[in-house]
Amino acid sequence: MNNLVITGVNSGVGYAAAEFFSKKYNVFGISRNDNNLGSLYRSPNFKFIKANISNPKDVSAAFSQIENIYCLINCAAIFESTPFIKQRVDLIEQIIDTNLKGTIFVTRAALEKMDGGRIINISSVSGKHGIKNQAAYSASKHGITGFMDSLNQELVEKGIQVTNLCPGGIKTPLWGPNNPYKGDLSRLLTPEDIVRILNFIIDSPSRIVFKELTVFPDSEIH
């Protein structure tokens, strides 16, 4: 049974992905805490590893527990929608540290345990163009777009396929009173929608490269 590593497993897409893929793979779920993991602990194929991905030492310790990685799915992210001039500096640091630096640290650690397979990053349409009141978040996701584009060129000859998945609004705890969604809430993507796409990518022949995929609700215009 192949080994998958998924970050951000305590909510949203990360949780849904861990729940689904633990039925067919060994899943190592990485998150700052194990809050809300619920049924995941009942799966014999799921192992939780506590780590702050913005801390290189935490990341190194986490990946010392994992070998022979087939697929890495980067889901961990921090989001806030607010005018940039009003955004706290410490939160800006957290967004960049987790979304950009954390993804880079995790990917580098995973590559040391990979011989072929796939790396899939859950980015955002904010990583393709700027969106009002999402300056720091968009900056972090644009950085990941450049990182994944470069990495794809490095790794394709080594048999490792890199995908940057850029969804629009997803119905997750990210959306709330402090982060209002401008579109039709009833038409939001769901974490399960994203998991179906992930499953299609992972199950596809290795000769097929999904460099970048953009998906958003029909109520959004980009």
Residues belonging to the active site: 137
| Closest C-alpha among 76, 73, 99 to residue 163 | 73
- Rounded to whole angstroms, the Cα distance separating 171 from 187 reads 9
Rounded to whole angstroms, how far apart are CA atoms 168 and 186? Answer: 14
The tally of CA atoms less than 13 A away on the side-chain side of residue 100 is: 19
What are the helix (H) ranges across the chain?
Answer: 12-21, 56-63, 89-95, 103-111, 135-155, 191-203
Nearest-angstrom CA–CA distance, 173 and 8: 12
The whole-angstrom separation of Cα 138 and Cα 133 is 9
For residues 7 and 196, give the distance between their C-alpha atoms in angstroms, rounded to a whole number: 17
